[in-house]
Amino acid sequence: MIEIWLNPACSKCRTAESELKAAGADYTVRRYLDEPPTVAELEDVLGRLGLEPWDIARTADARKLGVTLPAKDSAERGAWLALMAEHPKLIQRPILTASDGTTVVGRDPASLAQVIAAD
């Protein structure tokens, strides 16, 4: 089963969900703005993505939210995670995880195909 973190107002999220439906994929939806991920969940997703928090941050949304982002370095990693858990609008979307652990930020057809194939 694939889990998709999405914001229904996001066109990329709607496209990803349409692709999952078209592929006949079994999936669950997590509206991450309504049910924000914890710091531990963010750590887990980032580990599977092989990325750092600033790699999946929506920096333009930080300005809109009035959030000052820390420096992009390992000393500030915890601060990034705390901000993302507190302000989930900072998280890039959609994030999809296949049952085998394959995780992608599904903003392009290749990433979507990768997670669908892995499930």
Q: Which residues are catalytic?
A: 10
Helices (H) and strands (E) in the chain, counts: 5, 4
Strands of 27-31's sheet in order across: 27-31, 2-6, 95-97, 103-105
Residue pair 7/91 in contact (Cβ under 8 Å)? The answer is no
| C-alpha of 105 from chain center | 6
